[in-house]
């Protein structure tokens, strides 16, 4: 691996502020970030990447390669929660297995934007349709996780009357705040074109990295808090999470090779497949699978998968893709 790239990623201000946030908990600082500020930063990042993606779609005509990539996004969003469920069922009950499967099947938008900042620092860019792919990947896993949970309940309890509240579930999956603002900003960015981009650029791009840095400070605090729950997760879940990440990375890299994605698009796709949701899925699981323990699926996604991706994963995937492309 290119250790220079890995070191540069670790020394990147957003990643360093993630460690700084973890230090808040470890050193018992009184630094606090309110829930309202955290929510604003999350919505801002989603708005910004959605709007930028819409602008890129406006500039770039849709090609066959883009369609194949979106199909690959949907395939991974549906395949990952199904196979990962059976891995987790080796040790866990169906509710926790389903919630974890949904978390791995969905994506982490913050990992995505961190990878985008990494790409930009090396002079690479990604195209707007990848943002559309991210939006497509967030919701199917939520729906599949609940379906898997209900099927598991029917099998274990013999209760054939266990029903899925489809209206509530689909509304939560496709109109949750994160999905709504991401897709909405994508559409607005596309419809407003170049003039809209020029108007909003100071907000959507110029201050982006600063707010991302502040948001990762907040996520560092959250990750360190969840690490207290690590003993509940255990070695099985740590090993399972790493195994699923590796499987997802291998499959996604093979798909980028088949589709022949450019390195920038390929990295963003691999990062999406390797990440796990700790925002959208936990919010949905709280209502849809209340039996699942949040300290398990939150700890795995936020304190294991997320740090590995932003510290080691992103530069490692980038290097592998460059080797495959023959540019190393």
**What pLDDT is attached to residue 328?**
63
Helix (H) or strand (E) holding 245: helix 230-259
| Separation CA 242–CA 318 (nearest Å) | 18
| Separation CA 285–CA 288 (nearest Å) | 5
Domain ranges of the chain: 3-325
**Block means of pLDDT (10 residues each) for the chain, length 328 residues?**
69 90 94 92 89 85 83 95 95 92 93 91 88 87 88 68 69 78 90 93 89 92 84 85 97 96 95 92 83 89 93 94 84
**What pLDDT is attached to residue 164?**
67
**What pLDDT is attached to residue 179?**
79
Domain 3-325 fold: Na+/H+ antiporter like fold (1.20.1530)
**What pLDDT is attached to residue 282?**
84
Give the tokens for residue 283: 């919010």
Quick one: which of 306, 271, 254 has its CA closest to 119?
Answer: 271
**What pLDDT is attached to residue 327?**
75
**What pLDDT is attached to residue 160?**
54
**What pLDDT is attached to residue 71?**
94
């Amino acid at each position: 691996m290119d250790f220079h790239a890995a070191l540069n990623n670790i020394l990147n201000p957003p990643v360093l502020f993630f460690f700084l946030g973890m230090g808040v908990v470890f050193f018992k600082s009184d630094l606090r970030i309110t829930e309202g500020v955290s929510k604003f930063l999350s919505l801002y990042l989603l708005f910004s990447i959605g709007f930028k993606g819409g602008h890129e779609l406006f500039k770039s005509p849709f090609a066959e390669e883009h369609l194949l990539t979106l199909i690959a996004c949907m395939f991974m969003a549906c395949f990952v929660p199904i196979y990962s469920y059976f891995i987790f069922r080796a040790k866990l009950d169906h509710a926790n297995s389903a919630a974890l499967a949904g978390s791995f099947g969905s994506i982490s938008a913050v990992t995505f934007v961190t990878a985008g900042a990494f790409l930009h620092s090396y002079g690479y860019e990604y195209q707007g349709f990848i943002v559309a792919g991210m939006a497509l990947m967030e919701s199917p896993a939520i729906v599949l996780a609940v379906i898997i949970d209900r099927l598991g309940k029917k099998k274990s309890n013999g209760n054939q009357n266990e029903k899925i509240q489809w209206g509530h579930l689909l509304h939560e999956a496709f109109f949750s705040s994160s999905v709504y603002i991401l897709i909405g900003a994508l559409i607005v960015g596309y419809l407003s074109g170049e003039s809209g981009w020029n108007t909003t650029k100071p907000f959507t791009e110029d201050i982006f990295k600063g707010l991302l840095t502040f948001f990762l400070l907040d996520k560092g605090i959250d990750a360190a808090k969840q690490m207290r729950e690590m003993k509940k997760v255990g070695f099985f879940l740590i090993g399972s999470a790493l195994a699923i990440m590796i499987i997802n990375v291998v499959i996604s890299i093979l798909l980028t090779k088949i589709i022949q994605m450019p390195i920038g698009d390929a990295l963003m796709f691999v990062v999406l497949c390797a990440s796990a949701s700790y925002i959208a899925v936990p919010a949905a699981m709280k209502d849809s699978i209340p039996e699942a323990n949040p300290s398990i699926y939150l700890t795995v996604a936020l304190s294991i998968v997320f740090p590995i991706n932003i510290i080691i994963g992103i530069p490692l995937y980038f290097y592998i893709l460059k080797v495959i492309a023959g540019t190393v």
